[in-house]
Structure 1
Amino acid sequence: MKWEECKKGYENYLTLEKSLSQNSIAAYINDINKLEDFFEKSYKGVTPEKVVLSQLKSFVEWLNNKGVSPRTQARTISGIKSFYKYLLIEEKITSDPTALLESPKIGRKLPDILSMEEIDTLINAIDLKKSEGQRNKAMLETLYSCGLRVSELVNLKMTNLFFEQGFIKVEGKADKERLVPVSGRAIEEINKYLGNYRKNLRVNKDSENILFLNRRGRKLSRVMIFTIIKNLAAKVKFDKKISPHTFRHSFATHLINGGADLRAVQEMLGHESILTTEIYTHLDKDYLKSTIHQFHPRS
């Protein structure tokens, strides 16, 4: 049973059974590629069904020696456990060698966020004299207004804009749809973009329903969004590490600190588990204190 054969079956499993996005599937396959690379160098000839726990422990040690962070190690190990779970389901193996494989202990990493003033500074740094300036402003307002993932932003459709009702429909992970309120400011900037930039583009046939387009009339890449934000952060000389996800973190945190219900934020972010939402909503001490004073019966 060759590695390539197993990876192909695993990829089909992630696509058909798990309904994962292409980005998630690529990440899982990359984990198995790392494992295969390790075995090619250290245990040549060992195929997936012959892998044992001691070899997997050597793989984790190999990752550590390469300087891979504990968090990335844990994510990679999770991917490998998923791979062997698939092999077990398909009865290609009779026992799971990852069952006793431990992940490195990692603490909860609180994400960087931007204050409302910092978000305004970043958006105001956009050069509106450039043809793509209004598009970029509309995109960042939408990221912050709706707490979108970068993949959700680049795939946002024209037919999913319901501005009269104050909502947009978002297609999230595993093609799950959700309605998210959109701010008046974001609506205003999107309408300016539609009137000043998009209508003058020669839109590619495959991208006719995509909201945000590049100068060639095609859907923007995720990398392009990262680049736009990175360049703006450098322009205003921010010390923080900023990415599109920073806007999502900021969206959730500002809502919670403003008194929003955690369940409502969970729904808007599209999280299956509220535990995931808590990672994005690190609360400041003043908010925690005021919540205790307001709601605890002894206060």
Structure 2
Amino acid sequence: MNWQKSLIDYKLFLKLERGLSENSVINYGLDIAKLINWIEENSIKESPISIHKERLQEFIYANVKTLNAASQARLISGLKGYFDYLVFEDYRKDNPTDLIESPKVGRKLPDTLSEKEIDQIIESIDLSSPQGERNRAIIETLYGCGLRVSELLNLKLSDLFFDEGYILVTGKGDKQRFVPIAPITQKFITIYIEQVRTHEEPKPEFTNTLFLNRRGAQLTRAMIFTIVRNHTQKAGIKKKISPHTFRHSFATHLLQNGADLRAIQQMLGHESITTTEVYMHVDRTHLAEVMNTFHPRK
């Protein structure tokens, strides 16, 4: 087995067996491509089957000088995943990265907005233009349903099940889930559809796409970032805000108001509950309230 062939097979495995998105597959592949380039530059003869821990430590040491702790940890994690794949496919009997330690990286807590700040952003939107109605619906949907940007962009008219109170969301790896949608969010989407979108002429390939730009095409990620940044600045909020901040705020506010962590996990589309548990650390007062309310020896 040579390095280039193994990388192609690994990326195919990530896509077909793991169901990862194209972006995730590319990012995992970059870590292995970096190792392959280093091996070729140094005329190393070892293959994916024969390479050993000490050689990989040389590679990691050659890179740590230019990487921060988080990037080092990600690189080592990428290598571990690759060699786990080789073991899984019976190409190797062991994973040479098992005894290589990653640097300790503290978990960064997500930035959030308060309910008042979200109201300020919504109120800052000029509704006298068609784009204003669209932008209000976009921000209400990001916050009201806790969506990723890619999920928002891919929302279709046929994904709206307002009578049942749900929308169908396509998440990472094309995995679909139903997410509850509040009446107020339904209201603003309906206003956008009936008063703005119905008067637009979508391009043929975007006739079912919910949110459109002025040319009748799907919005881009960059445009969503611009919309969020402009309205945040207009509202006078100094925090560093991205579209993902509304997703974090959605989860945090649900937790603060007593929602079950498993329910939040399902709504966010997290594969592991561990990913959702980061929100337990955002507001420690909530933990104290849970203890005082539910512990038998309170």
Could you tell me the TM-score, scaled by structure 2's length? Answer: 0.89
Residue 126 of structure 2 is aligned to residue 127 of structure 1: yes
**Pairs within 5 Å for 1:85-124:** 85-124=84-123
Question: Relative to structure 1, is the Cα distance of residues 131 and 72 closer, same or farther in structure 2, using a 3 angstrom cutoff?
Answer: farther
Deviations 1:34-54 (A, max 9, x none): 333444445566654454323
Residue 259 of structure 1: aligned partner: 258
* RMSD over equivalenced CA pairs, Å: 2.4
Deviations 1:190-231 (A, max 9, x none): 112112332233222222222112223222233332232233
Distance, in Å, in 2 between the alignment partners of 1:221 and 1:136 is 13
Question: Relative to structure 1, is the Cα distance of residues 120 and 47 closer, same or farther in structure 2, using a 3 angstrom cutoff?
Answer: farther
Question: Relative to structure 1, is the Cα distance of residues 129 and 86 closer, same or farther in structure 2, using a 3 angstrom cutoff?
Answer: same
Equivalent AA in structure 1 for residue 54 of structure 2: S
Question: Relative to structure 1, is the Cα distance of residues 224 and 38 closer, same or farther in structure 2, using a 3 angstrom cutoff?
Answer: farther
Residue 225 of structure 2: aligned partner: 226
Equivalent AA in structure 1 for residue 17 of structure 2: E
Residue 142 of structure 2: aligned partner: 143
Equivalent AA in structure 1 for residue 36 of structure 2: E
Distance, in Å, in 2 between the alignment partners of 1:232 and 1:26 is 32
**Pairs within 5 Å for 1:159-178:** 159-178=158-177
Distance, in Å, in 2 between the alignment partners of 1:46 and 1:235 is 58
Greater shift, 200-209 or 180-189, is seen at: 200-209
Equivalent AA in structure 2 for residue 228 of structure 1: I
Residue 13 of structure 2: aligned partner: 13
Question: Percent identity at matched positions?
Answer: 48
Distance, in Å, in 2 between the alignment partners of 1:44 and 1:241 is 45
Greater shift, 36-45 or 82-91, is seen at: 36-45
Gaps of at least 5 residues in structure 2 are none
Contact residue 74 and residue 104 of structure 1 kept, 8 A: yes
Residue 211 of structure 1: aligned partner: 210
Contact residue 140 and residue 185 of structure 2 kept, 8 A: yes
Could you tell me the TM-score, scaled by structure 1's length? Answer: 0.89
Greater shift, 197-206 or 162-171, is seen at: 197-206
Greater shift, 140-149 or 275-284, is seen at: 275-284
Residue 281 of structure 2: aligned partner: 282
What is the deviation of 1:270? 1.7
What is the deviation of 1:239? 3.4
Secondary structure of the residue aligned to 2:83 is helix
Distance, in Å, in 2 between the alignment partners of 1:35 and 1:223 is 31
Greater shift, 25-34 or 162-171, is seen at: 25-34
